[in-house]
Amino acid sequence: MSQSAQSFKTNYQKLQEIAQKLSYSDEIDIDELVPMVDEATRAYNLCKSRIEAVEKALNQRLETEPKNNEPTTDLV
């Protein structure tokens, strides 16, 4: 697995952990809240950046792909 894919996976897991902690905790330690939000924001931005990079790469490949694979409308 590439480093960027691993980074995405790690950061996505971190987002899930923080969301679960916030969702299932009856009381959130106020002293932990700001660091948790900061960490979630960093993880979110890294994931978003990676998704945008992959989307851009896929779009470029789809735009440059030969049109030979398109279905024909001719009926024989």
Domain boundaries in the chain? Answer: 3-64
Task: Name the 3-class secondary structure at 27.
Answer: coil
Are the CB atoms for 44 and 13 separated by under 8 Å? no
| Closest-CA residue to 12 (of 58, 48, 55) | 48
Q: If DSSP codes are grouped into helix, strand and coil, which group holds residue 72?
A: coil
C-alpha 8/C-alpha 34 separation (Å) is 22
Measured in whole angstroms, the distance separating CA 26 from the mean position of its chain's CA atoms is 28
Between 69 and 18, the higher pLDDT residue: 18
In tens, the pLDDT along 27-61 reads: 888 999 999 999 999 999 999 999 999 999 999 99
- Report the distance separating Cα 31 and Cα 8, nearest Å: 27
Confidence (pTM)? 0.72
Question: What pLDDT, on the 0 to 100 scale, is given for residue 64?
Answer: 87
